[in-house]
Structures are given as C-alpha cells and as structure tokens.
C-alpha cells in the first residue's frame, strides 16, 4: 500500500509539473481566457517570468492551504477545534515537498512585494507545523520516550494554548497567500 501511495504521489507531482508547464506556455503566449468579471480563471496576457514563477509558487502553497482549516473567527475555531483536514504526517510531508520548490521560486522572484507575501505564507505554514508537532500525539506510544507526568499548571496552560497558535499561523499564512494571489492578479 505504501508503494502505491508513493506511486500516486509521484504521479500527482508529474501531473502538477505538466499542468504548470502547460499553464506557463499559455501565459507566455499571452492567451487571455476570461476577463476579471467572469468566474473562469484568468490567464495574464503577456506574462513576465516573475509572474509565471510566482504563479507556480502560489499553486504549491495552495496545496498546503487545502490541507489546513482556516477559521475566520475564534468562535468558529472553538466550535470546530480541528486544525487540519489531513493528519499531521500528511501535512508535514506536503510541507517538506513544497518548501524547497517555493524557496527556489522565491529566490528567483524580482518583485519584492510578491516575494515577501509568498515567503511569509510559507513561513506561516512552517510555524503552524512547528507548533502542531508540539501537541501531536501519534496513536502508538513509544515506551522509551515516556516520562513522568508533571502536573504543573503553567505547562497545562501553555499546552492548551498551542492549538490557538497553530490556528493563528494558518490564518496568517492564508492572508499572505491571498495577498499574493491579488498582487499577481489571478483571483
């Protein structure tokens, strides 16, 4: 089953690469599919290399955004209390896959504002994963890693606040991603 999932992951990467390549070709030829007022996606006429690179980075970041749940309010979070649509392992694997490619894209971008929005979005997903890992408990328990449980109120309050930190990071990452999408003009 694991080899099948790896094969599927490779197939998805190949499909994503093909999709990006085809989109890049269409962008390079300046084919506009729709105006901003229509519901279909708009391809930028006479796209620059920066715009193509930024679009690729945004597409990769949307993969992470699809994994997490972005709550619009504290009340909404407290009702749902879920951090993600996928398990921690899946999100962490997606983060590892996406990070190197997004960093490479950011290093090639000349547009400082777009570069910062994309970099801040990636940083938000990373920070959220960092804190999520602090409270994540896999189903199996490693006896070698067990420690005596301490009943310290400050530790309890700290741990209880971590989901809020994760949720805030997801929200900030999503806001930076949406700004990058607006700046690029591909809403």
Residue 91: band (very low, low, confident or very high) from pLDDT cuts 50, 70, 90: very high
Residue 133: band (very low, low, confident or very high) from pLDDT cuts 50, 70, 90: very high
- On whether the CB atoms of residues 105 and 59 are closer than 8 A, the answer is no
What is the overall mean pLDDT for the chain? 77
Residue 137: band (very low, low, confident or very high) from pLDDT cuts 50, 70, 90: confident
Helix 88-108 × helix 112-135 angle, to 10°: 160
- CATH fold of 48-137+151-187 reads 1.20.120
Looking at residues 13-35, what average pLDDT do you find? 45
Looking at residues 105-133, what average pLDDT do you find? 94
- Model confidence at 30: pLDDT above 50: no
pLDDT of 48: 84
pLDDT of 187: 61
pLDDT of 55: 93
Helix 49-67 × helix 2-28 angle, to 10°: 150
- What are the extents of the domains in the chain? 1-47, 48-137+151-187
128-133: long-range pairs with CB below 8 Å, 24+ = 128/68, 128/83, 128/165, 128/166, 128/169, 128/170, 128/173, 129/88, 129/91, 129/92, 129/95, 131/162, 131/165, 131/166, 131/169, 132/83, 132/84, 132/88, 132/91, 132/162, 132/166, 133/88, 133/92
Residue 84, beta-bridge partner list: 68
Q: What is the Cα 135 distance to its own chain's centre?
A: 20
Q: Which residue has the higher pLDDT, 157 or 120?
A: 120
Looking at residues 38-49, what average pLDDT do you find? 56
Alpha helix locations (H) across the chain?
A: 2-28, 49-67, 74-80, 88-108, 112-135, 153-184
Residue 90: band (very low, low, confident or very high) from pLDDT cuts 50, 70, 90: very high
For residue 34 the two structure tokens come to: 């729709």
Q: What is the Cα 93 distance to its own chain's centre?
A: 11
- Model confidence at 130: pLDDT above 50: yes
Measured CA distances, 152 to 48, 136, 157, 163 (Å): 56, 19, 9, 19
Q: Which residue has the higher pLDDT, 2 or 30?
A: 2
- On whether the CB atoms of residues 186 and 56 are closer than 8 A, the answer is no
């Amino acid at each position: 089953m694991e080899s099948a999932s790896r094969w599927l992951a490779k197939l998805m990467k190949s499909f994503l690469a093909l999709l990006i390549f085809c989109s890049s070709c269409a962008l390079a030829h300046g084919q506009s599919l729709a105006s901003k007022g229509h519901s279909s996606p708009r391809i930028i006429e006479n796209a620059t290399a920066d715009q193509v690179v930024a679009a690729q980075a945004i597409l990769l970041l949307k993969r992470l955004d699809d994994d997490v749940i972005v709550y619009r309010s504290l009340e909404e979070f407290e009702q749902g209390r879920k951090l993600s649509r996928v398990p921690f392992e899946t999100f962490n694997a997606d983060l590892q896959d996406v990070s190197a490619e997004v960093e490479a894209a950011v290093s090639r971008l000349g547009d400082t504002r777009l570069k910062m929005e994309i970099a801040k979005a990636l940083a938000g997903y990373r920070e959220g994963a960092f804190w999520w890992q602090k409270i994540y408990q896999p189903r199996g328990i490693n006896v070698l890693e067990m420690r005596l449980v301490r009943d310290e109120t400050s530790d309890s309050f700290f741990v209880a606040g971590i989901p809020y930190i994760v949720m805030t990071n997801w929200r900030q990452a999503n806001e930076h991603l949406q700004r990058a999408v607006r700046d690029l003009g591909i809403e």
